[in-house]
Each structure stands twice: as C-alpha cells, then as structure tokens.
C-alpha cells in the first residue's frame, strides 16, 4: 500500500486501484444478470450459465469504452442499460424479443398495463430496479476512471479481438454475441410489430352480404396442417400405419382434394379467403373468420406459426380477424415449438362460457421442413433408412395423435361438434446434395403431389368412414367451409353454387399460376422396407 501511495496520483495509486476494482465488481455484477434481462435464461437456467468468456467480456469492455465520453455515454451506454433493465420482466417471462412481445407492448393500454403489473411477480420489478442501479453505477464509476486515449484504444482493440474470436474465429455470425443479438431482435421485432399493426389498421373491411347461419353443431374446430402429402397417410392407403386413429375413424375423407399453391404463403390465404373465379386474386378481408364473425360465431385463432414477418404476415392478417387470438411463436424463424403446446390453449378456450356457435382454428407447424426438428425430441416411429423420411413419416403419426386428442377433448364437453382438417400444401422429392440419398422432400411446384393434400371431416354425428372421390379445387375451399359451418351469403359468385361436399367433380382443377393440375408430373410416394 505504501508503494501505491507513493505513486499517487498515477494510474496505480490507491485511489485508482479502488476505482478499477469497484468498476470491475459493478460491471461484472451487471453482466451476470444481463443474459436473463435479454431473455437468454428463459429456459430456467441461471443467467450466468448462458455466458461464455467472450460474451462476458464484450459488455464489460463496451461499458468501459462508452462511458468515457459524454456523447457515447448519453446516447448509447445509458439507453442500452435502461433498455436491458426495462426488458428484464419480459425477458424472464417470455424470452428474447420477438414480434409477439412487441405487438403486445404496442397495443397495451393503461388497463392492460395494470393487469400485467398485478400478474407479474414483484421480484421481477425489483430486478429491473436493481439492474438500473447496477448499470448506471457501473457507467458512473467507469467514467470516473478518466481513461486517456491510449488505454481506450487498447480496450477497443481488445473488444474487436473478442468480437472476432466469437464470430469469424468460430464460424458464427454477429448474433452469437448476446448483446448484439438482443439489440437486433429488439429493433427488428419493434419494426415488424409496428408494421403488423399498420397493416391491420389499413386492412379493408369485409363486404359479406345477406349472411344467414343454421349451424348443425355447437363447436367447430378447423385444424390446418403443414407440408403434408395425402399419399403418405395410411388412411389414404400408405402401407406404413402413419394414421391409425384416422384409418378407423368415421367421417368424410376426400381422396382428390387439390391445394391452390405449393407453399403456405400462396396456398393458405386462397384456402381461407374468397377467390375471384378463374384467377389467382383473392379478397383477404372476406375470409372464413370474418364470415363466421358476421354469422354470429365466437371465433378463435390458435397458431404455432408466426405472428408476423415477411412469410407469416399474409396468414397473420387473416388470423387477427378472429375475436380471440393465441400465438406460440413470433415468426417462422423462431425456435421450434411443439404443436401439442396448442392443446392446453384449446382446452382453455373450450372451457370458456359458450353463447352461440364457436369456431376454433388451429394452425400447426406440422410436417414443415426440417422434419426432425418437429419431433421435439420424440423417437422416430420407423427407421426407413433415410433419417429425414423417418422423421417426416413420424410427423404423420403425431398429427394423427393430435387429432385423436382433440376429438376426445371435444367429446368430453357434452356439446355437439365437428372437426375439419386439411394441409396447406404438399411436397415433392427434390435433388439435395449432401444428403444420404441425394434427394429430399422439399417445397416444389411442378408435381401433383405438391398440391395433393388430405381433407377430412369428423363430427359427433359421424357413424361411417366415407371416402369422397370427387376432384375438388382448393380455390373453392371457402365455400366448403361455409357449408360446413352452415353459413349462407349472397357474396359467393353465382357459378359457385355446386355442393362442395357432393360427389360431382369440379369442371377444372387448376393451381396457382393458372396451371392445369392434370398436366403436372407425378412424384409417387416412396415405399420403404422397415429397418427394425
């Protein structure tokens, strides 16, 4: 200590040693809690478990550098600390920033804010206050170090080296640095959320006319599958028993239903909305949810696909027309969520007081590539020698099990019910270098199987297993949904009066781009010999 006092007021003075020690303690304490505030500890792990040395070092160096000048301190350091601290409750409860959180925040009114506060554990708000105190104190102490240009340059070089090691040195992108990933997620979700709300505000009003309803059932459940071909389902004849429940279930099963498009963005809006006959144009405002609303239904949209983003927006703008909405994901790129997580949400919705007919729409992630991620840790049902196809076929068994659980759930409520299922599009075998077989099921547009999807309906009054062989165009799906719901409207075109559920073929079955379905190539299913 005597040596340090003799060096005063140099950099190794006793006073500066205390300042440096205090700065390190404060910045370290702040950075140990930072992952939780940014949503990286949402899985339940302690905040520091998601840290690595570089992700710990980057915020320390950044705070140290940014605190030295009043401009960077006020414009970057203090706002960054405040943003992390204020996000702490949401980060702990909901994880990293996404469009669901941003939309909820942008739509919040004082009453909802008070409700959120009353339902949030008080310690989370104490965490916000603690982070603010720690972060601002760290900035102040770092500022008081009054580093000259040379030490700041050394810290900047160290920061650049840490960033390089974490990213290019490990073959990763900048998002692997937690602070950068959080800032990006926060900015993107805020922008996307605002855009979603702008789109909703500017959406045209539906123009349904002369709507009448005579529903046969009290509860209707529409389940929308994803990336599922009809010919891999055993209920339609595939030799592996991928759908044992459906294979034995009473109901109506279409064997020649053709989706309008080869991907979700093209196909699903046209399956759910009113289409202009003979064209690819559709009226998104006149969709199944606005029609059901006009007919006096209580409507629910429960989705395991995204709330917003470039790929999810067209579907989300239909889903938000429901009177009640539940989203498990922000956008399609978010980490996988098991479709079965929708079941408790549906159970809660079914248990709400019922006044009149109800429509529940469940939008699944289903069999979307990549298939193995959809299993959520489940073992494959069959080893067919192709890991991707083993997983794909297992997703059919999962769909079958989910339908069975929903049917049992509906049957236990003492209300009459009907369930309808279709997939938005199929897939076809495409060349894929690097895979074991050199090809894999992917989105495509030139094969009939890109559009051949299952469509079936099961109800509380179903007694026989009936196959409907009629060729049916997905461009007419909304008329089919209206008949299923018992809804009539004069808005439907005059030439669409044919019974959707009848056995007469549609005069022409086409797909998006005005392509004739019958002229597309064939991509038959692969029949596997089991490895176990």
In order along its 532 residues, the chain shows pLDDT tens digits of 333 333 334 444 556 677 777 778 888 888 888 888 888 876 555 665 666 777 778 888 888 888 888 888 889 889 999 998 888 888 887 778 876 577 666 655 565 566 566 666 788 888 889 889 988 988 888 888 777 777 778 777 777 777 777 777 666 777 777 888 888 888 887 777 677 567 656 667 899 999 999 999 999 999 999 999 999 999 999 999 999 999 999 999 999 999 999 988 889 989 999 998 888 888 889 999 999 999 999 999 999 987 765 556 678 889 989 999 998 887 666 778 999 999 999 999 999 998 899 999 999 999 998 899 999 999 999 999 899 999 999 999 999 999 999 999 999 999 999 999 999 999 999 877 666 677 889 888 889 999 999 999 999 999 999 999 999 999 999 999 999 999 999 998 776 657 899 999 998 899 998 899 999 999 999 999 775 4
459, β-bridge pairs? 418
Domain 212-511 has CATH 3.40.720.10: yes
Question: Tokens 């998002």 correspond to what residue?
Answer: 175
Q: How far is CA 431 from CA 145, 387, 450, in A?
A: 61, 16, 15
Closest C-alpha among 227, 284, 122, 240 to residue 449 = 227
pLDDT tens-digit readout, 475-513: 999 999 999 999 999 998 776 657 899 999 998 899 998
Instruction: For residue 86, count other CB atoms closer than 10 A to its CB.
Output: 14
Q: What would the pLDDT profile of 437-468 be if each residue is shown by its tens digit?
A: 778 898 888 899 999 999 999 999 999 999 99
Q: Could you tell me the two tokens for 267?
A: 């196909």
Report the length, in residues, of the chain.
532
Report the candidate in 109, 87, 107, 106 with the shortest Cα–Cα distance to residue 97. 87
Instruction: Report the DSSP beta bridge partners of residue 466.
Output: 252
CA-to-CA dists, residue 118 to 114, 124, 125, 347, angstroms: 6, 12, 11, 25
Rounded Cα–Cα distance for residues 259 and 264 (Å): 10
Domain assignments of the chain as residue spans, ordered by start: 2-202, 212-511
CB neighbour burial string for 207-229, b if at least 16 within 10 angstroms, e if fewer:
ebeebebebebbbbbbbbbbbbb
500 phi, psi to nearest 5 deg: -60, -40
Residue 143 and residue 162: Cα distance in Å, rounded? Answer: 22
Whether the Cβ atoms of residue 26 and residue 64 lie closer than 8 Å to each other: no
Angstrom distance (rounded) from CA 297 to CA 458: 20
Instruction: Note whether 34 and 47 are within 8 A (CB).
Output: yes
- Omega within 30 of 0 (cis) for the link into 9: yes
Please name the residues in contact with 459: beta carbons below 8 A apart, sequence gap of 6 or more. Answer: 217, 251, 416, 417, 418, 419
* Angle formed at CA 98 by CA 95 and CA 104, multiple of 5 degrees: 95
The values of phi and psi at residue 507, to 5°, are -65, -35
pTM for this entry: 0.74
Taking CA 202 as the corner, what is the angle to CA 198 and CA 206, rounded to the nearest 5 degrees? Answer: 135
- In angstroms, the CA 342 to CA 322 distance is 16
């Amino acid at each position: 200590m005597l040596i340090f006092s003799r060096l005063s007021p140099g950099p190794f003075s006793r006073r500066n040693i205390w300042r440096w020690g205090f700065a390190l303690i404060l910045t370290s304490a702040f950075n140990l809690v930072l992952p939780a505030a940014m949503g990286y500890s949402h899985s339940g792990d302690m905040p520091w478990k998601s840290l690595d040395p570089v992700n710990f070092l980057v915020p320390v160096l950044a705070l140290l550098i940014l605190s030295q000048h009043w401009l960077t301190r006020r414009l970057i350091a203090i706002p960054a600390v405040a943003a992390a601290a204020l996000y702490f409750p949401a980060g702990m409860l909901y994880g990293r920033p996404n469009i669901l959180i941003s939309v909820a925040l942008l739509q919040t009114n004082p009453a909802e804010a008070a409700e959120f506060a009353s339902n949030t554990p008080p310690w989370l708000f104490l965490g916000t206050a603690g982070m603010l105190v720690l972060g601002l104190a760290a900035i102040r102490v770092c500022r008081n170090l009054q580093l000259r240009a040379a030490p700041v340059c050394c810290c900047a070089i160290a920061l650049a080296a840490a960033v390089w090691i974490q990213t290019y040195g490990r073959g990763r992108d900048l998002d692997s640095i937690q602070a950068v990933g959080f800032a990006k997620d926060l900015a993107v979700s805020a922008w996307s959320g605002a855009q979603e709300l702008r789109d909703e505000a500017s959406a045209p009003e539906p123009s349904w006319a002369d709507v009448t309803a005579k529903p046969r059932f009290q509860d209707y459940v529409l389940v929308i599958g994803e990336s599922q071909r009809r010919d891999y389902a055993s209920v339609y004849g595939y030799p592996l028993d991928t759908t044992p429940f459906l294979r034995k279930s009473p109901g109506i099963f279409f064997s020649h239903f053709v989706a309008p498009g080869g991907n979700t963005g093209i196909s699903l809006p046209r399956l759910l909305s009113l289409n202009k006959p003979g064209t690819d144009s559709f009226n998104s405002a006149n969709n199944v949810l606005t029609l059901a609303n006009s007919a006096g239904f209580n409507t629910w949209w429960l989705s395991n696909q995204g709330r917003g983003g470039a790929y999810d927006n067209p579907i989300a703008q239909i889903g938000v027309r429901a009177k009640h909405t539940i989203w498990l994901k922000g956008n399609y790129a978010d980490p996988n969520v098991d479709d079965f997580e929708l079941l408790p949400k549906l159970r809660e919705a079914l248990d709400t007081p019922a006044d009149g007919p109800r429509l529940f729409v469940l939008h699944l992630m289903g069999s979307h590539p990549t298939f193995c991620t959809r299993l959520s840790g489940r073992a494959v049902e069959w080893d067919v020698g192709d890991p991707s196809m083993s997983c794909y076929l297992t997703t059919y068994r999962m769909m079958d099990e989910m339908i069975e659980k929903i049917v049992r759930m509906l049957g236990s409520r003492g209300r009459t019910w009907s369930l309808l299922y279709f997939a938005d599009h199929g897939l076809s075998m495409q060349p894929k270098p690097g895979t074991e077989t050199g090809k894999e099921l992917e989105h495509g547009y030139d094969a009939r199987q890109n559009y051949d999807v299952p469509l079936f309906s099961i109800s509380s009054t179903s007694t026989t297993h009936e196959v409907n062989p009629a060729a049916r165009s997905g461009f007419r799906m909304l008329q089919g949904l209206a008949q299923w719901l018992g809804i009539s409207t004069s808005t439907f075109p005059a030439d669409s009066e044919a019974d959707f559920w009848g056995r007469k073929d549609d005069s022409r079955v086409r797909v998006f781009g005005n392509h004739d379905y019958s002229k597309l190539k064939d991509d038959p299913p692969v029949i596997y010999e089991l490895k176990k």
